[in-house]
Amino acid sequence: MSAADGGVSPANAAPAVAAGRLLPPLLILLCLGVASVMVAVAVGSVPIPLPELWAVFTGEGSALHRTLVLELRAPRALAAFAVGGLLAVAGALMQVLLRNPLADPYVLGLSGGAAVGALAAMLLGLGAAIVSGAAFAGALLSTVLVFGLAHGTGSWTPTRLLLTGVVVAAGWGAVITFMLAVGPTERLPGMLYWLMGDLTYARTPWIAMTTVAVACLLAMPLGRSLNVLARGPMQAAALGVPVRALEWSIYIGASLITAVAVTTAGSIGFVGLVVPHMLRLVLGNDQRLILPAAALAGGILVTLADTLARTMIAPEQLPVGVITALLGVPTFLYLLYRSR
Amino acid sequence: MSSVLAADKLVIDIPGRPDGVPLDLAVEPGQVWGVLGPNGAGKTTLLHTLAGLRQPRSGRVTLDGRPLRSYRRKHVARSVGVVFQERQDGFPATVLETVLIGRHPYLAAWDMETAEDVAIARAALARMELDGLDERLVSTLSGGERQRVAIATALAQDPDVWLADEPTNHLDLRHQVAVMDLLRAQAVADRGIFLCLHDINLAARWCDHLLLLYPDGTACWGPAERMLVPEALERLYGQPLARATVDGAQVFVPAGAGTIQPARPESHTRRPS
């Protein structure tokens, strides 16, 4: 049997059959995503019925509703959506990079570095913008540190990277505990909320939205290479994947998008681990489907979680990380329980 | 036009081992090469080096006369296919998805697999008697079925040169014969075949060229009939052998099987010190 003897050149071959398989789940998730943002915008201390919401979006509606929707709820909902998408995509990428389904965006100590930066800025009583900047710097510092240490003598393996990341994360954990222990009492709630993930101060969703869109656009053409990489680096190299370059790109890309997410909303746990997993259980393991689906599903999860976080015990707010875990744990366990 | 993969004064890099004999051989279209050697002789390392996945200590590997490293990996992947002995199945994947990755070298970044790719993959599965298992998860298959999935993947890759590490691992007798027949058929279709084998008798029956790889790095190679000398094979494995001719084929069996060997013969001690 010779595969090349088919007599059909790729140029005039039948249209891609796989595309038809990818679109329906993505369209469903897209609709759910739009719905989740609408819910987030409509629900709150002042509920806004759908017709009123429509009026606001078409440039009418009352001044109160316009302020509520356009200045408060919509930016926060979009930020939540983008952050969830970023974390889920970063988690999916890290799982392929480390060939370890237990990896999440924070497994390499990135959130720890960000938290140390953010908490240090809070301890010094600096403003929100500087807290964000310090978090971003801390995340990048941790990325460089872990990569440099794991790469040290040149023998780079996923296990080594993972172990380095876990140990560096433990180190950051100790520093965080130390800062909480010595921090003045009045600053503690803010610090704890940041650690649990908090979207209260997320006012500019555009950086995160742009990042998630760019990440998906870049990850799509890499998707099939990632599928091959998931079978191990040797097999991938034998099938023509430039393994080292691809692994570096994933690492840098996933770190950057996690840093953007953490900077926007603190370290929201669980999304990056659980969303890709849930999707794999339902949709299989084609990264071309999993990556955009993770962006949408992660967005939906965090948007709904944040809506619950600010309404459950209103006017008080809960850290959104609590809700993502409370929603994610049972859903995930259920899917795992009934999986093949 | 089929490709020729060749070793040019090649010394594989096994830490702590002397250079031994540099390899100078070419896997020509139509040839079936078998590599024989005891555990740890470097069969797998040699196979990976020929595939360009490992750096040699010295010498080089060439594809159609040009150094393998001067080609893009994707180009190499269209000419050289590798069947690995060990595989990672970290993430769940179906049989069809797994075989379809063999088409990766032929697809550009934005391409999706076409109906033609799927047809090629299904034909490969049918050839390995795996039809009907398309949607099964690879992790639920038996060892022998997974081995056949790996060979079907290489079949879908459709390389000019096959590098297969123990392609008959885990296979029952009938499927061992089926796989060796398949590889022979590939050779008849003008492809070059290079196999690491444990089983002398498979090598004796299906290979036309043999490479004997000794643990100290020395090696000898050539047409199979010149290599299938009991003395050379006994020295290779450190095991006395008896030869018989059955059904027109040479068969080697361990001599004195069932009796306890009092002492290891002299030739066993040819190991790196």
pLDDT, one tens digit per residue, over B180-195 is 999 999 999 999 999 9
The pair of three-digit structure tokens given for residue B60, joined into one six-digit string: 């080089």
Q: 197-226 in A: which are within 8 Å (CB) of B?
A: 220-222, 224-225
CATH number, residue B111 = 3.40.50.300
Chain B contact for A244 (CB, 8 A cutoff): no
Domain count along chain B = 1
Residue A104 has pLDDT above 90, yes or no: no
**A3/chain B closest Cα distance in angstroms:** 6
**CB-based contact B152:B97 (threshold 8 Å):** no
- State the virtual CA torsion across A238, A240, A243, A245 in degrees, nearest 10: 160
Number of C-beta neighbours around residue A259 at 10 A: 26
pLDDT given for residue A277 in this prediction: 87
The string of DSSP codes covering A25-68 is HHHHHHHHHHHHHHHHHH-SSS---HHHHHHHHTT-S-HHHHII
pLDDT tier at B258, thresholds 50, 70, 90: low
Number of C-beta neighbours around residue B174 at 10 A: 9
pLDDT given for residue B10 in this prediction: 96
**CB-based contact A85:A94 (threshold 8 Å):** no
The reply to whether residue B90 touches residue A286, judged by beta carbons under 8 angstroms, is: no
Residue A11 has pLDDT above 50, yes or no: no
pLDDT given for residue A326 in this prediction: 86
pLDDT given for residue B262 in this prediction: 47
| pLDDT (tens digit per residue) in A290-302 | 999 999 999 999 9
Give this prediction's pTM: 0.86
Query: Which residues in chain B are closer than 8 Å to A11, comparing Cβ atoms?
Result: none
- As a whole number of angstroms, the distance between CA B199 and CA B175 comes to 14
pLDDT-wise least confident of A244-258, A314-328, B165-179: A314-328
Chain B contact for A20 (CB, 8 A cutoff): no
pLDDT tier at A172, thresholds 50, 70, 90: very high
Residue-range definition of the domain harbouring residue B37: 5-233
The top-scoring range by mean pLDDT among A102-116, A140-154, A164-178, A190-204 is A164-178
pLDDT given for residue A313 in this prediction: 82
Task: For strands B219-223 and B23-27, give the pairing.
Answer: unpaired
**CB-based contact B12:B46 (threshold 8 Å):** yes
pLDDT tier at B270, thresholds 50, 70, 90: very low
Query: Which residues in chain B are closer than 8 Å to A277, comparing Cβ atoms?
Result: none
pLDDT-wise least confident of A1-5, A99-103, B159-163: A1-5
Would you call B58 helix, strand, or coil by DSSP?
strand
Cross-chain CB nearest to A232 (options B88, B97, B105): B88
Residue B242 lies in a domain: no
pLDDT given for residue B162 in this prediction: 97
Which bin fits B158, alpha (ψ -120 to 50), beta or left (φ > 0)? Answer: left
Q: 139-178 in A: which are within 8 Å (CB) of B?
A: none
Residue B252 lies in a domain: no
- As a whole number of angstroms, the distance between CA A86 and CA A83 comes to 5
Tell me how far the alpha carbon of residue B175 is from its chain's centroid.
16
The pair of three-digit structure tokens given for residue A319, joined into one six-digit string: 């850290």
Cα B61 to Cα A124, B37, B47, B127: the distances in Å are: 61, 21, 11, 31
Task: For strands B5-11 and B23-27, give the pairing.
Answer: antiparallel
Please choose, from the candidates A53, A84, A78, the residue with its C-alpha nearest in 3D space to the C-alpha of residue A68: A53
Residue B35 lies in a domain: yes
- As a whole number of angstroms, the distance between CA A23 and CA A15 comes to 14
Confidence check on the interface: ipTM exceeds 0.85, yes or no? yes
Query: How many interface pairs between A and B have CB atoms less than 8 angstroms apart?
Result: 133
Query: Which of B63, B82, B88, B190 best probes binding to A when mutated, by most A CB atoms within 10 angstroms?
Result: B88
Mean pLDDT over each residue of chain A, to the nearest integer: 85
Report the chain A residue with the minimal C-alpha distance to residue B74. A240
Share of chain A above pLDDT 70, in %: 91
Query: Which residues in chain B are closer than 8 Å to A231, comparing Cβ atoms?
Result: 87-89, 93, 98, 101
The reply to whether residue B123 touches residue A285, judged by beta carbons under 8 angstroms, is: no
- The secondary element (H helix, E strand) that includes residue A95 is helix A74-97
Query: Which of B101, B153, B162 best probes binding to A when mutated, by most A CB atoms within 10 angstroms?
Result: B101
Residue B89 lies in a domain: yes
pLDDT-wise least confident of A9-18, A53-62, B40-49, B123-132: A9-18
Report the chain B residue with the minimal C-alpha distance to residue A238. B77
The reply to whether residue B73 touches residue A2, judged by beta carbons under 8 angstroms, is: no
pLDDT given for residue A148 in this prediction: 84
Residue B24 lies in a domain: yes
C-alpha dihedral sign at B88, B93, A225, A111? negative
Query: Which residues in chain A are closer than 8 Å to B122, comparing Cβ atoms?
Result: none
Chain B contact for A10 (CB, 8 A cutoff): yes
pLDDT given for residue A1 in this prediction: 39
- As a whole number of angstroms, the distance between CA A172 and CA A213 comes to 30
Q: Which is higher by pLDDT, B1 or A291?
A: A291
The pair of three-digit structure tokens given for residue B128, joined into one six-digit string: 């390995």
Pick the CATH number of A78-335 from 3.50.50.60, 3.40.50.300, 1.10.3470.10, 1.20.1090.10: 1.10.3470.10
- State the virtual CA torsion across B110, B114, B116, B117 in degrees, nearest 10: 60
The pair of three-digit structure tokens given for residue B175, joined into one six-digit string: 């499927």
pLDDT tier at A267, thresholds 50, 70, 90: confident
**CB-based contact A320:A197 (threshold 8 Å):** yes
Residue B67 has pLDDT above 70, yes or no: yes
**CB-based contact A125:A184 (threshold 8 Å):** no
DSSP state of B255: T
Query: Which residues in chain B are closer than 8 Å to A99, comparing Cβ atoms?
Result: 88, 90-91
Chain B contact for A14 (CB, 8 A cutoff): yes
The reply to whether residue B87 touches residue A19, judged by beta carbons under 8 angstroms, is: no
Please choose, from the candidates A163, A140, A139, the residue with its C-alpha nearest in 3D space to the C-alpha of residue A151: A163
CB within 8 Å of A128: residues ≥ 6 apart: A201
Residue A282 has pLDDT above 90, yes or no: no
Q: What is the mean pLDDT of residues A93-120?
A: 86
Q: What is the mean pLDDT of residues B81-106?
A: 89
| pLDDT (tens digit per residue) in A20-77 | 777 889 999 999 999 999 999 888 888 888 888 888 888 887 888 888 888 888 999 9
Domain range annotation of chain A: 78-335
The reply to whether residue B81 touches residue A238, judged by beta carbons under 8 angstroms, is: yes
| pLDDT (tens digit per residue) in B100-141 | 999 999 998 888 888 999 999 999 999 999 989 999 999 899
SS3 content of chain A, % helix, strand, coil (to 5): 75, 0, 25
Report the chain A residue with the minimal C-alpha distance to residue B191. A2
Residue B262 lies in a domain: no
pLDDT tier at B64, thresholds 50, 70, 90: very high
pLDDT given for residue A3 in this prediction: 41
Beta bridge partners of B5: B27, B63
Mean pLDDT over each residue of chain B, to the nearest integer: 90
Residue B167 has pLDDT above 90, yes or no: yes
The pair of three-digit structure tokens given for residue B31, joined into one six-digit string: 């040839």
| pLDDT (tens digit per residue) in A201-236 | 777 788 899 999 999 998 888 999 999 999 888 999
Query: Which residues in chain A are closer than 8 Å to B119, comparing Cβ atoms?
Result: 6
SS3 content of chain B, % helix, strand, coil (to 5): 35, 25, 40
The pair of three-digit structure tokens given for residue A296, joined into one six-digit string: 């949408």
Chain B contact for A16 (CB, 8 A cutoff): yes
Cross-chain CB nearest to B120 (options A6, A101, A240): A6
Share of chain B above pLDDT 70, in %: 93
